[in-house]
Amino acid sequence: MHPQRKQKLFIILFMLGGIALAVTLMLVALKENINLFYTPQQIAAGEAPVNRTIRAGGMVVEGSVSRAEDGLTVRFEVTDGKDIVAIEYEGILPDLFREGQGIVALGQLNEKRVFIASEVLAKHDENYMPPEVADALEKAHSKGTEDVKSARY
Amino acid sequence: MWSALKRLYHQLGSPKWFYELTSRWSPWFLWIGSALMLVGIVWGLAFAPADYLQGNSFRIIYIHVPAALLSQSAYVMMAVAGLVGLVWKMKISFVVGKTIAPIGAGLAVMALLTGAIWGKPTWGTWWVWDARLTSMLILLFLYMGVIAIYNAIENEEMANKAAAVLALVGSINIPIIKYSVEWWNTLHQPATITLTKKPTMAPEMFIPLVLTIIGFYCWFAVWVFARTRNEILWRERRTKWVQRILSTGANH
């Protein structure tokens, strides 16, 4: 390669490397702000601020969903397999909301460590399958591999 | 060996050679791409089974994923073209970069729009400022920046250089888009298709997706070739070979 071009190539690559490093450092420093939501583990560890609007995410715990008398207030728990957060929400849940589903809730953590949500979004995972396959998996699952679902999240 | 490579390199940089070669390639890309798109879309929309959770709304994946994937690939191509242009001063390279920009921007818009349309019934919201969606929006802005540079700077050489530098710097965003769903908590799900692992998707849903992805790439190639050939004709309009093409009315 022509020495002049070689030099130019090195200058460009060096510049790119420098910018990449700067961006990496910036993203690492901002990690907590870029995360969309706090995990139950982070909330249990006290990393999430109280009485400030934040997002919390996790899997809805099987059998934890209960509706209040008025029919609109829903209480449920979410988990990341390590800790559990109780969420209270008044409003219409997304179609995909169900037990075992990942969700992200927007709201505030009160002093009693209950998360009062004003919005609940369903988080879809990367698995796509026809209903029959899902049924077959469900059957296999209920036969004994109880911890498959909780281990996956 | 070395001399053959060197000749190929010089041929690649020749507008006339580029024009003739891509004229021969284009029909192939067009027909193969169209056949793949036809089969992929009909299969995906009409015959693939509905998803167990999302029902039929998952079918937007057959447009969303190819558009999102290709808009990122197109950006990498634009950045590489810029690098080749800057270091080796190959004019054609700049032309290719310039022609990619609006197509890539269109694809990014397509990915963002289809994602929003899918997000409303699935997540419950059109938009959320998570890392994947935001970095994808930045990709669109980078494309728009490159387009703006070409429109704002009249001196061709200056515009080429400035656009190439922006394309190169912006390429840092590409790995951020790709790994955003792994590095941070996001609402967007992780990748379904990876090079290293089995796709987390039933084969009867996955195969049409692969077809539409390849179809998108073929159509993209046809489009970039056509736009580049247009630009070549304009730039070389005073040369003999272009005059001959224009006077005979041949379309390649």
Residue A129: what pLDDT? 85
Condensed to tens digits (0 to 9), the pLDDT of residues B206-237 reads: 999 999 999 999 999 999 999 999 999 988 88
Q: What is the pTM of this model?
A: 0.87
ipTM above 0.85, yes or no: no
The residue that leads in pLDDT, B33 or A94, is: B33
- Of all residues in chain A, the percent with pLDDT exceeding 90 is 37
Residue B17: what pLDDT? 87
Residue B213: what pLDDT? 96
Residue A152 near chain B (CB below 8 Å): no
Interface test with A, best of B57, B64, B84, B87 (most A CBs within 10 A): B87
Residue B46: what pLDDT? 92
The two tokens of residue B132 are: 């994947």
Residue B110: what pLDDT? 97
Chain A residues near residue B52 by CB distance under 8 angstroms: 129-131, 133-135
Tell me if residue A141 falls in helix, strand or coil: helix
Q: Can you give the three-state secondary structure of chain B, one letter per residue?
A: CHHHHHHHHHHHCCHHHHHHHHHHHHHHHHHHHHHHHHHHHHHHHHHCCCECCCEHHHHHHHHHHHHHHHHHHHHHHHHHHHHHHHHHCCHHHHHHHHHHHHHHHHHHHHHHHHHHHHHHHHCCCCCCCCHHHHHHHHHHHHHHHHHHHHHHCCCHHHHHHHHHHHHHHHCCHHHHHHHHHHHCCCCCCCCCCCCCCCCCECHHHHHHHHHHHHHHHHHHHHHHHHHHHHHHHHHCCCCHHHHHHHHHCCCC
The most confident of the ranges A57-61, A85-89, B29-33, B181-185 is: B29-33
Pairing of strands A102-109, A84-90: unpaired
Mean pLDDT of the A28-48 span: 88
Q: Tokens 């209950």 sit at which residue?
A: A114
Residue B99: what pLDDT? 95
Contact A119 B125 (CB under 8 A): yes
Q: Report d(CA A21, CA A16) in Å as an integer.
A: 9
Residue B54: what pLDDT? 84
Rounded to the nearest angstrom, the gap between the alpha carbon of residue A131 and the centroid of all alpha carbons in its chain is: 24
Contact B49 A131 (CB under 8 A): yes
Round the average pLDDT of chain B to a whole number and report it: 91
Condensed to tens digits (0 to 9), the pLDDT of residues B150-161 reads: 999 999 999 999
Going by pLDDT thresholds of 50, 70 and 90, the confidence category of residue A142 is low
Residue A143: what pLDDT? 57
Contact B88 A129 (CB under 8 A): no
The residue that leads in pLDDT, A148 or B186, is: B186
Which residues 90-149 of chain A have a CB within 8 Å of chain B? 94-96, 101, 104, 119-135
